[in-house]
């Protein structure tokens, strides 16, 4: 039990739609990172938020966007969904940027 919760656990969308995934960080954690994990691959870093500001971004297009709220919960938004967006999306929080990450159980997104 890491104290990081993600919702929903599963989601099915069609191409072109938009989706919002949510992450509730562990209490006191000011840093949240989002990852995409395709089947059989390692987690790929999407972006990181530190104290409500984007603090780094991986090689993902602008249709992947995010927010971190004052209570340090977070959202990942993906517009114009493509078939390749089908993956497990993981959220991790930490008490600071150089501290250990604690992962939620992820959201499985399927695009039809």
Partner 1 sequence: GIQVEQSPPDLILQEGANSTLRCNFSDSVNNLQWFHQNPWGQLINLFYIPSGTKQNGRLSATTVATERYSLLYISSSQTTDSGVYFCAVRGGSYIPTFGRGTSLIVHP
> Whose Cβ is closer to partner 1: residue 38's or residue 80's?
38
How many residues lie near partner 1 (CB under 8 A)? Answer: 27
DSSP 39: T
Q: Cβ(23)–Cβ(106) under 8 Å? A: no
Tell me, rounded to whole angstroms, the distance of Cα 37 from its chain centroid. Answer: 10
Is 99 a residue that touches partner 1 (CB under 8 A)?
Answer: yes
Is 27 a residue that touches partner 1 (CB under 8 A)?
Answer: no
> Per DSSP, which regions of 69-106 are E strands?
74-78, 87-94, 102-103
Is 66 a residue that touches partner 1 (CB under 8 A)?
Answer: no
Residue-wise burial string across 67-84, b where 16 or more C-beta atoms lie within 10 A, e elsewhere: ebeeebbbbbebeebeee
Say how far apart CA 91 and CA 67 lie, in whole Å: 12
> Whose Cβ is closer to partner 1: residue 22's or residue 102's?
102
Segment near partner 1 (CB under 8 A); pick from 21-29, 61-69, 78-86, 100-108: 100-108
Among 90, 93, 109, 111, binds partner 1 (CB under 8 A): 90
Binding footprint of partner 1 on the chain (CB under 8 A): 2, 33, 35, 37, 41-45, 48, 50, 55-56, 58, 88, 90, 92, 97-103, 105-106, 108
């Amino acid at each position: 039990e890491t104290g990081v919760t993600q919702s929903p656990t599963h989601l099915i969308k069609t191409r072109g739609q938009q989706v919002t995934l949510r992450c509730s960080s562990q209490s006191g954690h000011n840093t949240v990172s989002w990852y995409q994990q395709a089947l059989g691959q390692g987690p790929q870093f999407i972006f990181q938020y530190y104290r409500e500001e984007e603090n780094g971004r991986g090689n993902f297009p602008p249709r992947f966007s995010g927010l971190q709220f004052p209570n340090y919960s977070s959202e990942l938004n993906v517009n114009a969904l493509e078939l390749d967006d089908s993956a497990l999306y993981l959220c991790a929080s930490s008490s600071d940027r150089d501290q250990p990450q604690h992962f939620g159980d992820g959201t499985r997104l399927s695009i039809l």
